[in-house]
Amino acid sequence: MVCKRSIAYSSSANLGSGFDILSVAHDAFYDEVEACTSEGGLRVVMTDNSNIPEDPTKNSAGFSVLSLMKDYGIKEGIILKVKKGIPAGLGLGSSGASAAAAVAAVNSLFSLGLSKDSMVKYSMLGEGAIAGSPHPDNVAASIFGGFVAVLGERTVNLNVNYDFKFILFIPSIEAKDKTKKARELVPKTVDMSSYVKNMRFGFSLMLGLERGDRKLISNGLNDEIVEKARLPMFPFYPELKKISLSHNAIGACVSGAGPSILVLVDHESEIKAIEEEGKKLIASFGYSAQVKEAKIAGGVKVE
Ligand SMILES: Nc1ncnc2c1ncn2[C@@H]1O[C@H](COP(=O)(O)OP(=O)(O)OP(=O)(O)O)[C@@H](O)[C@H]1O
Ligand SMILES: N[C@@H](CCO)C(=O)O
């Protein structure tokens, strides 16, 4: 039996207006996957006591690897042992990280020579199996690391020339098929004024990161369309953003499909006040919340 082990970090997708395009990997949490050759077929084993299905067609890691096995004619059996570090269903790219780690491990196990873009392609299929449509942003961040823009079949890393860190507010809200439901809330059409505002936000964020311009980054962390449509899923968000900005955060946005919220902070921000008041606010809505500080993380690693 030959094995390969990999780890992939959590991520926050969308970053305001970049629905299904922009994302960032952070070191808040990571998943580990060990892929070993075995008897025929694919078996997924969740090594912790999570309720995540082990049926490969219902598991993001399993479905991605099934697709790889089919396309690359892999006849040998594979056992995937998935150790979850990233809590699922909270907008932290949990399903995407498992898929990314599994694809990278199998790529190495069978020396498939997949490019990072091909790994994104296979990993996003796992997202499709559970969220109804295969969004690429979380898996792209987990594979490439850093800030990414997914531009069709290519993912590009953004240069970051500003020093900041993240605060993640992670409310304990259990919602079955959360991302699937959240995607159903996204409007099918948008009016021109929202489109123009969102283009401005997206360009502001990308240029602000590249130029190290705090004001542009701050202006970029906004969204007129998707966050608004999904607000009933995280009703505390507008007030949490207000509190963060009043204490000099750079900006705040919904992490992926929520309910977690990502806040960017730097030396000018009153971090303790943001964390304490933010937690109290979420409690006033009836939810407990974990608050976690994090930094930008690298891409998937195979041992
Ligand atoms: N390997 C996996 N890791 C995590 N969740 C998985 C996995 N395979 C299947 N799932 C299922 O996917 C659902 C969680 O996915 P969902 O997209 O809602 O959350 P997420 O990946 O944590 O967040 P987001 O995509 O918003 O960042 C759960 O119902 C879980 O059972
Ligand atoms: N772009 C995806 C990310 C899910 O984490 C969405 O917002 O549905």
Q: Taking all residues of the chain, what is their mean pLDDT, rounded to a whole number?
A: 96
Query: Please, how many CA atoms are within 13 Å of residue 33, restricted to the half-sphere of its CB?
Result: 35
Q: Measured between alpha carbons, how far is 98 from 60 in angstroms, rounded to an integer? A: 7
Complex confidence, ipTM: 0.96
* Nearest ligand (C-alpha, residue 90): 1
* Cα 226 to ligand 2 centroid, rounded to whole Å: 10
- Alpha helices for 132-251 (secondary structure H): 137-144, 178-184, 192-211, 214-220, 226-229, 237-246
Q: Measured between alpha carbons, how far is 289 from 303 in angstroms, rounded to an integer? A: 34
pLDDT tens digits, residue range 202-235?
999 999 999 999 999 999 999 999 999 999 999 9
Per-residue exposure over 260-286, b if at least 16 CB sit within 10 Å of its own CB, e if not? bbbbbbeeebebeebbebbbebbeeee
Q: Which of the four pLDDT bands, split at 50, 70 and 90, describes residue 40?
A: confident
Task: Please identify, in words, the CATH class of the domain defined by 3-158+298-302.
Answer: alpha beta
Q: Is the pLDDT of residue 255 over 80?
A: yes
Residue 241 corresponds to which tokens in the numbers above? 């953003």
Inter-residue contact 150 to 120 (CB < 8 Å): yes
Q: Which of the four pLDDT bands, split at 50, 70 and 90, describes residue 50?
A: confident
> Is residue 47 annotated as part of the catalytic site, yes or no?
no
Q: Which of the four pLDDT bands, split at 50, 70 and 90, describes residue 176?
A: confident
* Nearest ligand (C-alpha, residue 14): 2
- CB-ligand 1 contact for 256 (6 Å cutoff): yes
Residue 87 marked in a binding site:
yes
Residue 146 marked in a binding site:
no
> Is residue 293 annotated as part of the catalytic site, yes or no?
no
Q: Is the dihedral of CA 62, 67, 70, 75 positive or negative?
A: negative
Q: Measured between alpha carbons, how far is 254 from 262 in angstroms, rounded to an integer? A: 6
Where are the domains positioned within the chain?
3-158+298-302, 165-294
- Pocket, ligand 2, Cβ cutoff 6 A: 13-14, 19-20, 91, 93, 135, 137-138, 179, 182-183, 256-257
Residue 95 marked in a binding site:
yes
Intrachain domains 3-158+298-302 and 165-294 with the same fold? no
User: How crowded is residue 290: how many other Cβ atoms within 10 Å of its Cβ?
Assistant: 15
Which atom number of ligand 1 is nearest to the Cα of residue 12? 27
The CATH homologous superfamily of the domain defined by 165-294: GHMP kinase, C-terminal domain (3.30.70.890)
Would you state the pLDDT for residue 39? 87
